[in-house]
């Protein structure tokens, strides 16, 4: 796929002094793909995206975006990409439309198409009726939507979104995903995004899991979940400690209390449950079996959940136990 790929990355490395933020990563993104970069805080997501957007110079390796080298052909790369970054860069004193006009001029969008293009992208994010309002009067979600509209204004071939929904309420997050999904149909665009929300990674065609500057695995969410190969079983008992001990002794399973229930991973969970009732040797008051989530995938490949990797919270013991399976 290299020749037509929207993004090609080979051995890309970035060090800051002694910190190896990105340690020689390799991947390709196909045209039209929604590609997600998933990892905990400090994993190297922003550093990678910054190199692809020509905002940071690689220490080693190569990368090309829309067929142009990010170091040797910076201007061509910049003309072909749209950016929506974590920190807003809109001018609050200007109206929504004025912000877009300013951007159109910077990017040399042809005068004959500017008006139509502004209307189209603002309609896409449902802000056309607010075009004359000053941006300082917008909510966080509206600002993010306007940034997405601005990122699309010059018809980029690749749109980079760095944590596009961070800090937004669930309703706005889901609206933003609605726009992103429409985009891939209406704009014939490749989307490269970073996130640390597992539920959002589900929307991507493929995701790369990055941890400590290295890509651990790349695949579609479905295939990644299938690769875990184990189901999550949660049981309620009257004595969790005793249940955990019995699971270890009788079945060789490592379990821990998670979300208030004794939780463990096992292949073919539904078939295992009858055995569990017969052989655990203590009453079980309720049981649930679920397919692996992307959380389980992350844990399977990195040994911790994204949240644990960030906060080291009390799920750690459980996750470690799962990872040791």
Q: Which is nearer to ligand ATP, 31 or 42 (CB)?
A: 42
Q: Which is nearer to ligand ATP, 41 or 137 (CB)?
A: 41
CB of 15 to ligand ATP, least distance (A): 9
DSSP 8-class letter at 268: T
The tally of CA atoms less than 13 A away on the side-chain side of residue 118 is: 21
Alpha carbon distance 273, 275 (integer Å): 5
- Residue 275 in contact with residue 285, Cβ under 8 Å? no
Q: Which is nearer to ligand ATP, 64 or 194 (CB)?
A: 194
Residues that bind ligand ATP (CB under 6 A): 16, 19, 21, 39, 41-47, 196
Minimum distance from CB of 86 to ligand ATP (Å)?
Answer: 7
Question: Could you tell me how far CA 78 lies from the centroid of its own chain?
Answer: 23
Task: Choose between 26 and 241: whose C-beta lies nearer to ligand ATP.
Answer: 26
Residues 9 and 192: beta-carbon distance below 8 Å: no
Contacts of 308-312 with C-beta under 8 Å, sequence gap 24+, read 309/40, 309/41, 309/43, 309/211, 310/40, 310/41, 310/196
For ligand ATP, the closer CB: 19 or 113: 19
Least distance (Å) between residue 92 CB and ligand ATP: 24
Q: What is the DSSP letter of 324?
A: T
CB 99 within 8 A of CB 146: yes
- CB 5, min distance to ligand ATP, A: 22
* Minimal distance, residue 275 CB to ligand ATP, in Å: 42
């Amino acid at each position: 796929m290299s020749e037509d790929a929207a993004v090609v990355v080979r051995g890309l490395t970035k060090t800051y002094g002694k910190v190896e933020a990105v340690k020689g990563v390799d991947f390709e993104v196909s045209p039209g793909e929604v590609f997600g970069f998933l990892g905990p805080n400090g994993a190297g997501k922003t550093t990678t995206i910054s190199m692809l957007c020509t905002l940071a110079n690689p220490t080693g390796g190569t990368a090309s975006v829309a067929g142009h080298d990010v170091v040797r052909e910076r201007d061509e790369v910049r003309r072909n990409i749209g950016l929506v970054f974590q920190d807003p860069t809109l001018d609050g004193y200007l109206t929504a439309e004025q912000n877009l006009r300013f951007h159109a001029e910077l990017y040399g969008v042809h005068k004959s198409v500017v008006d139509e293009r502004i209307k189209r992208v603002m309609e896409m994010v449902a802000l056309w009726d607010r075009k004359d309002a000053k941006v300082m009067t917008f909510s966080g979600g509206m600002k993010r939507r306007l940034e997405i509209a601005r990122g699309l204004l010059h018809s980029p071939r690749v749109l980079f979104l760095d944590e596009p929904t961070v800090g937004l309420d669930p309703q706005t997050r889901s609206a933003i995903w609605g726009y992103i999904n429409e985009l891939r149909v209406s704009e014939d665009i490749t989307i490269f995004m970073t996130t640390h929300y597992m539920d959002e990674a589900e929307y991507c065609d493929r995701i790369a899991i990055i941890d400590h500057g290295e890509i651990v695995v790349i695949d579609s969410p479905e295939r990644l979940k299938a690769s875990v190969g184990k189901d999550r079983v949660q049981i309620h008992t009257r004595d969790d400690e005793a249940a955990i001990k019995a699971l270890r002794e009788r079945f060789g399973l490592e379990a821990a209390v998670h979300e208030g229930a004794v939780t463990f991973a096992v292949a073919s969970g539904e078939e295992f449950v009858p055995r569990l009732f017969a052989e655990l040797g203590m009453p079980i008051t309720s049981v649930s079996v679920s397919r692996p989530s992307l959380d389980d995938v992350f844990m399977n490949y990195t040994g911790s959940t994204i949240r644990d990797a960030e906060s080291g919270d009390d799920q750690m013991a459980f996750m470690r136990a799962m990872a040791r399976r």
